[in-house]
Amino acid sequence: MLVPLIFKPGIVKDLTEYSSGRNGPFYTDSNLVRFRNGYPTKIGGWQQETYSLGTATSTVGTVQGAPRKILAWRGISDGSDYIAIGTHSHVYVIKDSIAYDITPLRKTTTNLTNPLVVTNGSATVTVTDSSHGASTGDYIVIEQAVATGGITAATLNDINGYEITKVDNNSYTFVAGSAATSGATGGGTSIDIKYLIGNAENVGNQSADPALGWGVGTWGQGAWNEPRDGTSTTVSLEATNWTLVLWGEDLLLNNVSGQIYYWDLSDAGISTRAALVSAESGASNVPSSNKTITVSFPDRHLISGGCSPLGATTADPMLVRFSNQEDFVTFTPTATNTSGDQRLEVGTKIVSMLPTKDETFIQTDEAAYGMTFVGPPFTFSFRLLAVNCGAVSLHGSANVDGDVYWIGKSNFFVYNGSVQELPCSVQHFVFDRMQANFFDKVFVGHNKKFNEITWFYVSTDNEVSGTNPEPEPDSYVTFNYADAAWSIGTLQRNAWSDATNVRQVPFALDKDGKLYNHETGTSDDGSAMSAFIESGDVELDSTGENLFMVDKIIPDAIMTTDTSLSVQIKTRKYPNATEVTKGSFTVTSTTDKVSTRAKGRQMAIRFSSSGTNDEWSLGDFRINARKDGMR
């Protein structure tokens, strides 16, 4: 008899293989496969888009630091396309395939005289700059240096700068791009050194470090029974992350627990660095510490969450402050403006904020709030929407046409007028694999064309080790909100943006700063994509009493002529019995049937591809099965 294999859409991991077969039947595992109109389809490929750093060169560049956030927009004044990238140590803007470093500066030391010391055969350069205020891991950019000890001026003045190691309060070292050919002290008589914001400004922390007190820091750092140098510590309760928002065509940016910066697209050229909002003309009481920022819609207030109160420098993690309308530099409330503040009550800290079509959606670690513009005299109203639905990461929430989807501590939620928990068929699988120490690296990507919300996370397959001290997201879980179907897989990405009027396809950055255009081609940037989907055990009759012999597979799939789809049949006589695998069998666009001999009471089927040109979508396969004996 011919038996159709009709599976319900979505991956189910929170049932046994046998139960998922009987109660669905469902698919139970996948990688690089989505559901479209209820059926499995291999996802599109991706191709790297190259760019250079600072100037147009033939050398392919990558940004420094682990990427955390990307934002694309089109300039109003010049019509050019821009991409802003925030990493754990830098901020860049890409224009015309060139990435410009716009990381704010902490200070600039000018006109130093011969501050560089080099040693023959070594690339290490020692810099003397009294009271430099920098910490190990901070970055500097040197300008106006001349060749020293055989290290060229171009190397010393590298526009990408150098990461430093602090020696003491008056000196530090960095490793140049080439070694010295002789010992020397020099560099010139008018060296300028730009110090990028760093550890003192909560920038440069690739991962959160909850360790405090005894034993903190590098082994052997400092002398016994003496306090550690506070400016040298790299301990941070939070990893560096960035909020990037637009103010017209200009960029407002804020690092977690840092200050607010402004980058004016039209001010002095693309290479101009972002500067403090508090230093702008007319600035008044701009919060000096901010967890995150956003711009309210449609009224245009700059909103800060988890920020320092009026007149204070220490942050209140539950405080919301907002600027005067259409004026992002004025935070001092008066009788004639709309600046103000509001402290939230449920939770211990504000985690995330994002504007929706009707309100600003605010998430604490325990609750969700709606912030709605009502006009004078109160400016905004605040509604507690739900509790026990806290967010875990800055970029773990996505606004989809006014509905907000986000990840919590152990489940997923949606706000579509009311807060609801999303039923999730892979919930325990995902949260059992997710490393809680790296919750703050979880980020969400939206792919509107395919109705998908995808969360990328650090899994237990990516544990901390000597060769992997700073794990980055390696796995994903996707919710198709049109089909209410979940899928899972592995893919290393650090930041994501959907297609916009600027970019025609979604694009993402990996941990090394490589930029990929997704839904482009059928390969992993020219390499094979290992895609598969596997079902649970389907019982071949309703009672499970009889053994069946499966001797034929009849394909039903849409695929290109150069696609090779592998099919395996896995049978069991009992739910806990050893699985017997037959195949793989190759299915192409011209295959009408596949002959096999597989015996069991229940059967699972696995479809996979591992080529560079494979493109396929499954339908309802059928098998030919007949009753058979034990032998």
Reference 263, options 513, 509, 73; nearest CA is 73
pLDDT at 35 over 90: yes
Residue 225 has a pLDDT of: 55
Residue 135 has a pLDDT of: 96
Per-residue pLDDT of 244-257, as tens digits, reads: 999 999 999 999 99
329: pLDDT confidence band, cut at 50, 70 and 90?
A: very high
Among 119-133, 378-392, 535-549, the minimum mean pLDDT is found in 535-549
Per-residue pLDDT of 462-479, as tens digits, reads: 999 999 999 999 999 999
More confident: 3 or 134: 134
First to last CA, the chain: 20
Residue 167 has a pLDDT of: 97
Buried/exposed 153-188: b ≥16 CB within 10 Å, e otherwise: eebbbbeebbbbbbeeeebbebebeebbeeebebbb
Residue 220 has a pLDDT of: 53
- CB-based burial label for 264 (10 Å; 0-12, 13-18, 19+): middle
Residue 602 has a pLDDT of: 84
Per-residue pLDDT of 154-174, as tens digits, reads: 999 999 999 999 999 999 999
Contact (Cβ atoms closer than 8 angstroms) between residue 62 and residue 507: no
Name 385's Cβ contacts closer than 8 Å, sequence gap at least 6. Answer: 367, 368, 369, 370, 415, 418, 419
Reference 5, options 29, 27, 28; nearest CA is 27
Cis before 377? omega within 30: yes
550: pLDDT confidence band, cut at 50, 70 and 90?
A: confident
Residue 221 has a pLDDT of: 52
Among 45-49, 56-60, 362-366, 441-445, the minimum mean pLDDT is found in 56-60
Domain formed by 2-26+530-628, architecture: Sandwich (2.60)
pLDDT at 141 over 70: yes
- State the CB neighbour count (10 A cutoff) for residue 343: 11
Residue 231 has a pLDDT of: 44
Rounded mean pLDDT, 407-424: 96
424: pLDDT confidence band, cut at 50, 70 and 90?
A: very high
Among 4-8, 123-127, 129-133, 339-343, the minimum mean pLDDT is found in 4-8
Q: What is the CATH number of domain 60-68+238-518?
A: 2.130.10
Where exactly are the structural domains of the chain? 2-26+530-628, 60-68+238-518, 105-196
- Please tell me the number of Cα atoms within 13 Å of 70 on its side-chain side: 30
pLDDT at 227 over 60: no
Rounded mean pLDDT, 286-315: 97
Q: What is the mean pLDDT of the chain?
A: 92
Rounded mean pLDDT, 538-549: 73
Residue 233 has a pLDDT of: 46
573: pLDDT confidence band, cut at 50, 70 and 90?
A: confident
Residue 5 has a pLDDT of: 86
Question: Given the structure tokens 């082994």, which residue do they identify?
Answer: 219
Q: Rounded to an integer, what distance in angstroms lies between the CA atom of residue 567 and that of residue 609?
A: 9
Rounded mean pLDDT, 566-581: 86
Q: What is the CATH number of domain 105-196?
A: 2.40.30.20
DSSP 8-class letter at 189: S
Residue 230 has a pLDDT of: 46
pLDDT at 512 over 90: yes
**Angle made by CA atoms 457, 460, 463, in degrees to the nearest 5:** 100
Contact (Cβ atoms closer than 8 angstroms) between residue 176 and residue 125: yes
Q: Rounded to an integer, what distance in angstroms lies between the CA atom of residue 388 and that of residue 410?
A: 11
Per-residue pLDDT of 100-122, as tens digits, reads: 999 999 999 999 999 999 999 99
Residue 572 has a pLDDT of: 82
Residue 236 has a pLDDT of: 46
Residue 80 has a pLDDT of: 92
Q: Residue 291 region, left (φ>0) first, then alpha (ψ -120 to 50), else beta?
A: alpha
210: pLDDT confidence band, cut at 50, 70 and 90?
A: low
Residue 397 has a pLDDT of: 98
61: pLDDT confidence band, cut at 50, 70 and 90?
A: confident
Question: By percentage, how much of the chain surpasses pLDDT 90?
Answer: 82
pLDDT at 631 over 60: no
Beta strands 52-53 and 98-101 are: parallel
Residue 215 has a pLDDT of: 52
Which tokens belong to 230?
């506070």
Residue 309 has a pLDDT of: 98
pLDDT at 324 over 80: yes
